[in-house]
Structure 1
């Protein structure tokens, strides 16, 4: 897709001002969600909050069948295509340590990735778009998604019929994600791979246990597991081309029960991050080969399990360029930044972008006065987001929808 200059000209230049006028409502919803976070796919309180926030708008709402999603359809006054806007809803299993007046009231749950801001931004964007219905040639599909944090919530919504509502299949899909380490109010974007595929690696090494004073009478799985850690890093540097990016981190090693016993088994667990399906497939094969052969060299065996995670999040070139152009119009060109490289984190909006051309971009939300090198990042139990950045997200959501539906 590519929006025309006429479509870009149809994007009002005062969207940021209008979004700022809605800031009290945006903040109220965000803080209500922040106080009562929910984790995973079952988010009944969050779902009800969203339905209440949109109840006075001309939006047809659908609650999810398999999860606590909300899908809204906003019809424009004229026929035309559909554009999808996503806001994820779920929190993380962390205990908050920010000292905020509106900090989480739920032990072991916190909106540490800013999904509360995503919901609030999309709800306020829906309100502005509803005010502009007569300017919309087509419809807006509002995707409020649970289970982004490892639960494949976007895939579940697709299976529930996200693209089969009365809105039809969208022409384009967009998502915004706040970043606690990026200057507040900036839009960071790039075409092509935006975030990595994430697979989980589990290896069980089996030897033969025995007395720690007589290792010659046992087959110690611990040295085999230790050797695998180094061998796996070598596999990445020797088998993946230098211009391709891949990360393989072994983050857990477990073995043994006491000092004088050689255990029978040792376990490794880690994560594999890649930015293309060919490299992803290559590493799956190499990891299995390296672990099995390293174990064999120590007289042991290895059972390798690679659990597929989210696919690569790939931005459509045209959609990413359109989002950048709209961002420059509503925020100013100086606040729209080209990202030089992808992030190795993962995002399940990848499932949507695998079906619909579109783009994900980041909205900076680092509070003033915090050093970018030491500011608590997303997923920290001390992370704080600058709420004023939400107005930028609202304006960009509305701007890209207005541009796509300016027919």
Structure 2
């Protein structure tokens, strides 16, 4: 089954929804206007809808006309605290911006709901539509999981899918089996010394030289303690010491973001940062405390689902538009929480506008990032097609396994 013709018919409405959301972005876990817009866009459809209590999420379940399992589709809804500089006619003016394309994702998921709803009698199972706030650093997916989104259809979904727009050659689609995005971790190290007068460092235990050595050593460590085929990225972004220029502080601290692609790398990171920080601090007569906080797990595509997604989207859009990514990117994504519970696939759709050179297009999160909303139809079609095809495959496998 193809949904593309119907998706193109829906496109003007979906573009209007996207531009309304773009002009009125909301950040974090509380998106009341966005939630209302989604509920309005879904009104009239035969869906079982629930809203979150800890966040303004929307969960909608479409019951198929034929018995079968469930599949989940995710669209994130939140914007970023970025002042928009695109000059678009529908640009935001409230100090926030859909600089990561979540407005397109939301509109596309509404489109997928409408497309599948039109064929619900043929649908061999159920579809959960997960409209998620708080993707940008607020763990909105984790909150929705705690509130039961994975059990909304009565049983855990057999697969989950999400698409994300990005700058680049318009219409290109890519994903890969295994890790597609890194896990995100936050590292804090504090060196404890003994304060004193800056003119008499011999009477103090200065934590600052120890901390600066630790910062340099951390960057070296990433090239000497990790397999280059399983890399990490560690970037020290914060250094803090005293306020008085003539006083040696009693402690100094740093903060770093660390991206990992495997549980093994995370284990090595935990061991080596502690050994390094404590050893360097001790060499200076100081002590160190190390805190490594895991924010997001690795976004891990199920190998079978990723290969099936590549095949399905190549059939849908043509093989010239679809390719396998050669490596994971080091950004992070909280759809990882869903994929840690349910096999599935996260994929990218490139959507630079025709008048922008893809090679120099502004990246996601830039105040000048732009996305061509003509591709909302493609994203809606892809999500609907993946859900329908996965349920059909489950139905055929079930029929084939019946001894009668």
Please indicate the TM-score interval, normalised by the length of the shorter structure. Answer: over 0.9
Deviation of the 1:153 alpha carbon:
1.1
Q: Mapping of 1:293-304 within 5 angstroms?
A: 293-304=279-290
Deviation of the 1:289 alpha carbon:
1.5
Q: Deviations over 1:300-340 (max 9, x none)?
A: 22221112110011101111111112211221111102100
Of 44, 56, 61, which residue of structure 1 is paired with 2:44? 56
TM-score scaled by length of structure 1:
0.93
TM-score scaled by length of structure 2:
0.94
Task: Report what 1:217 is aligned to.
Answer: 203
SS at match of 2:243: coil
Deviation of the 1:168 alpha carbon:
2.1
Q: Which shows bigger deviation, 248-257 or 334-343?
A: 248-257
CA contact (8 A) 2:70 2:153 kept: no
Deviation of the 1:41 alpha carbon:
1.1
Deviation of the 1:44 alpha carbon:
1.3
Of 175, 179, 182, which residue of structure 2 is paired with 1:193? 179
CA contact (8 A) 1:16 1:331 kept: no
- Equivalent-residue separation in structure 2 for 1:167 and 1:329 (angstroms): 32
Task: Report what 1:273 is aligned to.
Answer: 259
Following superposition, which runs of at least 4 residues in structure 1 exceed 4 angstroms of deviation? Answer: none
Deviation of the 1:258 alpha carbon:
4.3
Task: Report what 1:316 is aligned to.
Answer: 302
Q: Deviations over 1:328-353 (max 9, x none)?
A: 12211111021000011111111111
Of 351, 358, 369, which residue of structure 2 is paired with 1:365? 351
Of 151, 156, 163, which residue of structure 1 is paired with 2:143? 156
- Equivalent-residue separation in structure 1 for 2:278 and 2:12 (angstroms): 58
Deviation of the 1:217 alpha carbon:
2.5
Q: Deviations over 1:246-303 (max 9, x none)?
A: 1111011122324433222222111111111111111012112211211111122222
CA contact (8 A) 1:139 1:167 kept: no
Task: Report what 2:5 is aligned to.
Answer: 17
CA contact (8 A) 2:173 2:350 kept: yes
Q: Mapping of 1:3-402 within 5 angstroms?
A: 11-12=1-2, 15-107=3-95, 109-180=96-167, 182-402=168-388
- Equivalent-residue separation in structure 1 for 2:357 and 2:247 (angstroms): 48
- Equivalent-residue separation in structure 1 for 2:306 and 2:275 (angstroms): 38
Q: Which shows bigger deviation, 44-53 or 249-258?
A: 249-258
Change (3 A) 1:247 1:130: same
Deviation of the 1:371 alpha carbon:
3.4
Task: Report what 2:398 is aligned to.
Answer: none
SS at match of 2:150: helix
- Equivalent-residue separation in structure 1 for 2:369 and 2:207 (angstroms): 40
Deviation of the 1:167 alpha carbon:
4.3
Q: Which shows bigger deviation, 282-291 or 258-267?
A: 258-267
Runs of 5+ unmatched residues, structure 2: 396-404
Change (3 A) 1:265 1:189: same
Deviation of the 1:17 alpha carbon:
3.3
Deviation of the 1:366 alpha carbon:
1.6
Number of aligned positions between the proteins: 393
Q: Which shows bigger deviation, 164-173 or 253-262?
A: 253-262
CA contact (8 A) 1:185 1:388 kept: no
